[in-house]
Chains A and B, each alone.
Chain A
Amino acid sequence: MKSEFVDYLNEIGITDLFQDKAKGIYSFYEKLYPDSIQDIYVSEYIDEEGKRQYENLWFFTSTTFMEAKQFLTEDNFDAAPYVKKFKHWTIEKKNYDFGDSTDISRMKLRVAFATGLGAELKASGKNCYYLKEIFLKYIKPNLDE
């Protein structure tokens, strides 16, 4: 796995066994899309007890995104082309001005495809910054206008 991906995982608290799991999934997708994965994202949120709950692991190539659902406990993988495929997006955010994020920042991004399918990516704390970057790089430019 690329060192910047490892840095990202460490930054959002995915270490040790959790990181091993993420690396295993990266290897799986890497075999299917060799040398083309350019970004990583983990959807997560803070639950009512203040615990960080990690949900889905995402990878992005220049044409395709891949999602491992409930990646820590499930083996449920999919992938889809995204170029000019998005029909709609919604962002909900709290304590986040789309600049640098802080510990109390929260963000939720929902996207819908022309096919009717959709996806939801959540972020807390520093991860809001990374979700913003994903939005600007992969979602916003690929609205099917």
Chain B
Amino acid sequence: MDKNKPDNISEYKKWLKDKHKIDVDDRTRTYYESVAHKIRTDFNISLFWQTLTQQLERIGQEYYLNTKYYLFTEDRAPELILKPFDSFMLKSFRHNIINNKNWPKEPVDGWILPNNWFVKTNDIVRTCFVVKYLDGISFLLSKIQNICKDNGLTCDVDFEAKEEGYYAAHVSIRFQCEIPRKDWDTEKINTVIELQVTTQLQEVIRKLLHKYYEQSRKRIAPDELKWQWDYKSDEFSANYLGHILHYVEGMIMDVRDKQEGKKK
């Protein structure tokens, strides 16, 4: 193992200072938080978000009229969440160090550093829509994409299906906003807002496993035994539970479709 390769956040901060002359201190945190708040405020009052939140009831009604089932678990729009500074640092640590196959050179898509990290980090502001059924994900995604298009925003949709049993759709919306600079001036940046769409069952498991995922993301050394074979490990139970739930949700859809006579 490369002894110069940071294997925790403290070493990572030292590496940032030695290699890139970047101090990560309380001022960095305060600045990050002021920028993150500004991005959220701008997105919150954007025509896109206003339109989407106003149309949620209508979207839910359209799904109900088509399927006889409610789309959402809750009637109100989900909250826009700010990525905490520590998670933000952890994400750049994973990008620059843990997942960097070019180490000690820069990653394929470049370093994430203060001069670009508000542009290259795609979930400083994010939210999660929870739908009741699996088909609700693609239904809602198509509506979000239409509203993006109507408002001149570009978005990418990614149906995440991870080996670790994580299933959700992510919509990454490219959003321009004006953020404060350290010299009190402002600058316009194109950041990315992440809208996640998941199902009620996956949301339950996500909340249960949140702490476990947080720990596993900080890990640098791969476990000697693959988690798929280590049936006594937390990963074995947690990850397969995610896969099983996804399968169950598919079966629920199958039963629902059969009840409605949609099957040929």
A residues whose Cβ falls under 8 Å from a Cβ of B: 15-18, 21, 49, 51, 72-73
Contacts and interface: CB of A to CB of B under 8 A. Distances in A.
A16 B58 contact: yes
A39 B57 CA distance: 27
Interface stretch (B62-70, B88-96, B153-161): B62-70
Residue among B61, B62, B68, B70 with most chain A CB within 10 A: B61
Interface of B: 57-58, 61-62, 64-65, 68, 70, 73
B57 A73 contact: no
A17 B62 contact: yes
B57 A72 contact: no
Contacts of A17: 58, 61-62, 65
A18 B68 CA distance: 12
A123 to B, nearest CB: 20
Contacts of B62: 17
A60 to B, nearest CB: 25
A115 B61 CA distance: 37
A73 B65 contact: yes
A85 to B, nearest CB: 32
Contacts of A15: 57
A72 to B, nearest CB: 6
Contacts of B68: 72-73
15 contacts: A15-B57, A16-B57, A16-B58, A17-B58, A17-B61, A17-B62, A18-B61, A18-B64, A49-B73, A72-B64, A72-B65, A72-B68, A73-B64, A73-B65, A73-B68
A118 B70 CA distance: 29
A71 to B, nearest CB: 11
Nearest to A74: B68
B237 to A, nearest CB: 28
A2 B68 CA distance: 27
Nearest to B63: A17
Given A15-B57, A16-B57, A16-B58, A21 B65 contact: yes
Given A16-B58, A72-B64, 18 more contacts: A15-B57, A16-B57, A16-B61, A17-B58, A17-B61, A17-B62, A17-B65, A18-B61, A18-B64, A18-B65, A21-B65, A49-B73, A51-B70, A72-B65, A72-B68, A73-B64, A73-B65, A73-B68
A49 B73 CA distance: 9
Nearest to A15: B57
A17 B66 CA distance: 11
A18 to B, nearest CB: 5
Contacts of A49: 73
B49 to A, nearest CB: 19
Contacts of A72: 64-65, 68
Nearest to B58: A16
Contacts of B73: 49
Contacts of B61: 16-18
Nearest to A51: B70
A73 B70 CA distance: 12
A20 to B, nearest CB: 9
A51 B58 CA distance: 16
A49 B57 CA distance: 17
A18 B257 CA distance: 23
Contacts of A21: 65
Nearest to A47: B70
A16 B58 CA distance: 6
Contacts of B64: 18, 72-73
A49 B64 CA distance: 16
